[in-house]
Structure 1
């Protein structure tokens, strides 16, 4: 799930933060649990789901944007809300709901993460996988977060939804050989050899539907990003990609499990971090 362009999400988080966790920020505890807010904010998940439904109805790309933000949050300092200095539990729930609204399978989201007091641009630049990364680099970066190569291949399936900018796939469609010629030609129509860097192309053939077409595209050498196609290029992940390309139920099931595992990357709990009085502002 390499870094790609996302649509703005500030309005979404403002609405959710104001409606929900501002009134529900007194929860405490030391372990993540799907029932963490059962007593203090029992309707939290309903609130987040309803707001996500409204957001995705208006702009389907919002589902992909929020999913990408959660990935970025967890890879930079752990799942602590530092990517936006916003509430990390809201982000975890919203990422799940965005996937479900676009056709994915639901999963239980462990809750109870406290929020960071800091954000790090340098860590964002060093810890997020590049869309130009090769397979060994990707495996190493995911391993540094406690995730296996298989986890990486499953989580890369998040590219089942969303779009990417021309600047991030131009080299692939003009210079790489492990690409379907017809696919490369089609993408060049909207991504010239120079200029138009921000033009968008779908990450897979059904960018508004969370399905296994991403893996089918990889088998057909139609991966948009270099970091996508390296998952199926004669390497260690070929078998996993083939499995998910023919077994959509297995992908949808395993994606939820991998998201839970990713959501457990270095969460702040207990007395670490803070419970914000306002989700968008560090406590003074």
Structure 2
């Protein structure tokens, strides 16, 4: 018996009802099976893309501007979903921060120490006034409480030489911006300095910082260092440190959701830079962003063993 593909004319308003509960994976399977015609598939993909967009938080004006550009240019359906996947790894530092913090590609940053940002004192002072002491560059899209989030960054020297712990110290952190929601200005930064092995917590707008040692400092030299973060469905999170040239992966342990603000609603993976701690220019690249960590990472315990450390107040 020949298979019949259902068209929009055949389905009528049923298309709208179908689009309200079909996920992208289910639309893909129905399209592959030839259950629906091309026009129905396009309609379902458009609805799936808009439904997906409605459920992901976008960071800042730049991210929203890119989304609006895509919509205005007629990108929709599967093509729009592909663009959203790319935006997971996109970073948009302010143009005024260049050259101190410069976007070299959509997912890559070059960061200069304060001592190397400018040759003359006046220009350096002007740049210091523009770039904040703690410069945060979140990824363009995040997640909401109840949906997991995982991200990975790779750090190396801009001149491709080896790095020691003291070259970076706490000058680079991978972390998570925890926000209360669009209409609420409360936020918290949870940061992990992979070279120093320190973890920090800081409420938005506050000078005081909670600090804890979660791993020993990096020993010897490395050509690259990777840092990973996983936000769990419950709202807890943990970090990993990896030397890609060895099989060694170190876990910080879980910061449980009870240790984080009760108002947490949105989570954005983020890179943080204290340029006065850097001794050499660095390159930071977003190598992964998704719901889970890459499958090639070994079995991890950090998701269920709580971090065992003492926090103290600094700042």
TM-score for the superposition, normalised by structure 2? 0.24
Which entry has the higher C-alpha Rg, 1 or 2?
Answer: 2
Q: Name the structure where strand makes up a greater proportion of residues.
A: 2
TM-score for the superposition, normalised by structure 1? 0.26
**Which structure would you say has the larger RCO, counting Cα contacts within 8 Å and 6 or more residues apart?**
1
